[in-house]
Structure 1
Amino acid sequence: MTRMINGFNGNTAALPEAERHLVERRQRLLGPSYRLFYDHPLHPVRAEGVRLYDAEGVEYLDCYNNVPSVGHCHPHVVAAIQRQAAVLNTHTRYLDEAVLDYSERLLATFPAALDRVMYTCTGSEAVDLALRIARFHTGAAGIIISENAYHGLTAATAAISPSLGDSVPLGPEVMTVRPGPGMAAEVEAAIAHLARRGIRTAAFIADSIFSTDGVIADPPGFLQGVIEAVHRAGALYIADEVQPGFGRLGSHFWGFMRHGITPDIVVMGKPMGNGMPIAAAVARSEVLERFGLEVRYFNTFGANHVSVAAAAAVLDVIEAEGLVANAARVGQHMAAGMRGMGEVRGAGLFLALDLGNAARAARVVNGLRARRVLIGASGKDGASLKIRPPLPFTEADADIFLSALADTLAHDA
């Protein structure tokens, strides 16, 4: 069985009796696909802001979960969900102002050329839709991705997600390239390689901070040469903003903006609804027009009323609480505090600390969990700590994390 980075190894013998029974029950009912984090799995029963609490009331600082983007159980989002659930919850085949109001607000955060939005329930569905659009628009099939990308769990998106492991083969029309400076030349070579096999390139897709490749953010602008190469080949550029979007990187609302580019399609996922099932693909109208006219597409729960209410409330909170600026300020504080501990990469509240050793990184992740601080790991070898807290994270929260990190590293020296 392929073990995910920072995954529980399945050995229940060392767990307390109650947790052992819970894990064994879970394994019996859900099967082996449902993995758990940490050597000692966590059992939270409630959450608020940037903290999780277990059944005994023990508090854990959440430095990992980007899905509750404006904080766990934010009261403004919870109230919006409750109000709408008591009034109406149906689909987009009826007229409704709320989805139009939200769409106008969402599109206003993008460059003007990105002027249409199509809704799904999950990021995987949004990427799947983007691939369909790109292949229909270009008449081509080839897809270029980063070497340890993750883009989803549908059949089509798993085929462009090498981070899922060797048991999930890439599609025959898929090529991988290394992220970072020099990527444009690798993309050009991949396009040429596909062409020699008789495959035209339909799209290049990248998570704008390469979160599963170890978090690659700098230098800003290195994706400009990539998009130029993609467009020269008649292909589309798809920006996967599921993880870096909604102001997480601090300098801009969307991660691709740090590179000074305008993609053809942008996909986003559940952070847009603070964990509610809403996701989307935003695109240039000329890319969507013929697809919309000739291809039947409908998503029953995509942009349902309750999820749209949650998404609108998330935008309210980001604006009212100044969370983009907060991500920049607190992220800089965290990055400065980690210098000297290893190679620090990232932007805003999306950071990585490369320890150069996967086994040590795993020990540190679990050491922090023992100190009630939750993070993950990233990179093909899992040697980088992945730090990605909810956006309301404060400098005081960051100091708790930095103290726990320093203590963990010192004990693992």
Structure 2
Amino acid sequence: MSMVNAFTNEDFEQLDATEKALIARREKVLGPAYRLFYEKPLHLVRGEGVWLYDAAGERYLDAYNNVASLGHCHPRVVAAITGQTAVLNTHTRYLHEGIVDYAEALTSTFPAPLSQAMFTCTGSEANDLALRIARHVTGGTGIISTRLAYHGVTGAVAEFSPSLGEAVPLGAHVRTVAAPDSYRFPASEMMEKFGRDVRRAIADLKRHGIKPAMLIVDTIFSSDGIFAGPKGFLQPAVDAIHEAGGLFVADEVQPGFGRTGETMWGFERHGVSPDMVTIGKPMGNGYPMAGIVVQPEIIAEFGAKTRYFNTFGGNPVAAAAGKAVLDAIREEGLRENALAVGNHMMDSLRTLADRHPAIGDIRGSGLFVGVEIVADRGEKRPDAALTARIVNGLRERRVLISASGPFANVLKIRPPLVFSRENVDTLVTALDDVLTRGKG
């Protein structure tokens, strides 16, 4: 399985001499495992708000990068990082108000009883820690994830991240289930099917002598094709894992921090109660931060018997960055903006779909939107080739998105929370042009 929207050696000859030389230097010193986006990779040198600037000074509308979810180089976060860096940066085995202030502010955004936090540097580490805790608490080893999920790249987490491709084997203790496809199944059937599939996975684990430890889902199914509704469809699956003695882990690395607009956290839209929540990417608006938020009774025995330490996770600079992000989301009304601007985006895309039959479905919540591209609306037949042309055609028109899904045919639109209605109009106009005139 190749990476969606990846640069390949087949695209090399279309580049100019400077780009070819930089890619050659990159491959020589970084090795072959790294990947680049787009048929013609971007050479970026600066970012500000929703804009990215390349080496030639051209600007691109960033409708994809949710790491800088407040926009690139947000002044509040830049000031917090530089200010704290100039004073102190050390680890969490010394007393410091910063980590406590941040943990209090963070956990206050979660429903009870999710009230304790542990910090890491990456979402991969967060999911690795969640797995350790789940196995300690349940005594089981079995993991259930969705069929094209991405949860991280550590040795343990890669085993339940099937989107990494066939060259990265799934663990013998891992079972995958199809994501709940709201495009191809009616709402009630989809909800029942997902719960039933999880129960079957649990039964198969037990049949092979494997006790279930956890069900983990990205609550908007980012890599599986973006499925946001109907609200509540996760409940039967959560009930199933709890009845089997396992834990439910909500991976909020992509849908969290106000991204879905209606709520701060994606799982809240479904009215479910996770045992643990993993967070990362937008947590520090580019500063490497991640962690878990957990129910106290889940962590009590693990914490009593297992010392946890992360040299950089939760350090004073990280805490300052994280607090600045939370303050900006609250004080600048960014969750509310995500909902309002996201609704405008969905409405605009639906209008566009009236003119372009290649748009088969539009789905999402807030500023996390998926657009399914099909060759035939009646048959709902995926069109990965056209999807790739659209993504690269938008890049040529200086609008950045990507794609996802098991058929590589879902436009993945995930702009910063500061995106405006005017930015949406720019994106939709460019998409209209690509669909009308082709890549051109």
Where on the TM-score scale, by shorter chain, does this alignment land: which range?
over 0.9
TM-score, normalization by structure 2: 0.92
Contact 2:260 2:368 in 1 (8 A): yes
| Partner residue of 2:240 out of 229, 233, 239 | 229
* Aligned pairs (5 A) from 1:32-181: 32-180=32-180, 181=190
| 1:221 partner amino acid | G
Tell me how far apart the structure 1 counterparts of residues 409 and 384 of structure 2 sit (CA, whole Å).
4
What is the CA distance between 1:66 and its match in structure 2? Answer: 0.3
CA deviation vs aligned residue, 1:17-49 (integer Å, no higher than 9, x gap): 111100111111111111100000001100000
Report the alpha carbon displacement of residue 87 of structure 1 after superposing the two structures with TM.
Answer: 0.1
Provide the rounded CA distance (Å) in 2 between the counterparts of 1:51 and 1:382.
26
Q: Which amino acid aligns with 2:434?
A: T
1:4 corresponds to: 3
- Give the superposition deviation at 1:89: 0.1
1:181-207 Cα shifts (integer Å, max 9, x gaps): 221111111111111111111000000
Please name the residue that 1:399 is paired with.
425
CA contact (8 A) 1:268 1:279 kept: yes
Corresponding residue number in structure 2 for 1:247: 258
The C-alpha deviation readout for 1:204-250, integer Å capped at 9, x for no partner, is: 00000000000011111000111111111111000000000000000
Is this contact kept in 1: 2:115–2:295, CA < 8 A?
yes
Match of residue 208 from structure 1: 219
| 1:270, distance to aligned residue in structure 2 (A) | 2.6
| Amino acid in the other structure paired with 2:129 | L
Q: Secondary structure at the match of 1:19?
A: helix
Residue 3 of structure 1: how far off its partner (Å)? 3.0
Which residue matches 2:312? Answer: 301
The CA distance in 1 between the partners of 2:75 and 2:269, in whole Å, is: 31
Is residue 220 from structure 1 mapped to residue 238 from structure 2 by the alignment? no
SS at match of 2:387: helix
- How many angstroms does 1:275 deviate by? 1.2
Tell me the secondary structure at the aligned position of residue 211 of structure 1.
coil
Structure 2 counterpart of 1:353, one-letter code:
V
> 1:324-366 CA distances to partner (integer Å, 9 max, x unpaired)?
0111111111111112233101111001100021111011000
Aligned-pair CA distance for 1:278: 1.0
The letter for the 2-side match of 1:29 is: V
Residue 293 of structure 1: CA displacement? 1.0
User: CA separation in 2, counterparts of 1:14 and 1:198?
Assistant: 54
1:389 pairs with 2:415: yes
Tell me, yes or no, if the aligned pair for 1:246 and 1:253 is still in contact at 8 Å: yes
Q: CA deviation at 1:56?
A: 1.9
Aligned ranges 1:192-207 → 2 under 5 Å: 192-207=203-218
Residue 13 of structure 1: SS of its match in structure 2? helix
Q: 1:374 aligns with which of 377, 389, 400?
A: 400
Separation of aligned partners in 2, 1:77 and 1:309? 8
Aligned-pair CA distance for 1:105: 0.6
Distance 1:19 1:236 in 2: 48
**Secondary structure of the corresponding residue to residue 381 of structure 1:** coil
Amino acid at match of 1:299: N
Quote the Cα distance in structure 2 between the aligned partners of 1:175 and 1:412.
Answer: 40
- Answer yes or no: is 1:344 the counterpart of 2:355: no
Consecutive aligned runs of 4 or more in structure 1 exceeding 2 Å deviation: none
Looking at structure 2, the residues matched to 295 and 170 of structure 1 have their Cα atoms a distance apart, in angstroms, of 27
| 8 Å contact kept, 2:254–2:281 | no
Q: TM-score with structure 1 length normalisation?
A: 0.98
2 CA distance for matches of 1:327 and 1:193? 40
Question: Take 1:48 and 1:220, find their aligned partners in 2: how far apart are those partners?
Answer: 34
Tell me, in whole angstroms, the C-alpha distance in 1 between the residues paired with 2:167 and 2:2.
Answer: 11
Taking the aligned partners of 2:267 and 2:167, their CA distance within structure 1 comes to 31
- Is contact 1:3-1:9 (8 Å) kept? no
Partner secondary structure for residue 212 of structure 1: coil
Kept in 1: contact 2:2–2:165 (CA 8 A): no
CA distance in 2, matches of 1:170, 1:54: 38
CA distance in 2, matches of 1:402, 1:342: 16
- 8 Å contact 1:5–1:377 — kept in the other structure? yes
Match of 1:114, SS?
Answer: coil
Q: Match of 2:56, SS?
A: coil
**Aligned to 2:237, what secondary structure does the other structure show?**
helix
Q: Tell me how far apart the structure 1 counterparts of residues 71 and 286 of structure 2 sit (CA, whole Å).
A: 10
Contact in 2 for aligned 1:373/1:404 (Cα 8 Å): yes
- Which consecutive residues of structure 1, in runs of 5 or more, have no partner in the other structure? none
Q: Which amino acid aligns with 2:97?
A: E
- 1:357 corresponds to which letter in structure 2? D
What is the letter of the counterpart of residue 126 of structure 1? A
Q: Check whether the contact 1:151–1:161 (CA below 8 A) recurs between aligned residues.
A: yes
Give 1:129 shift. 0.1
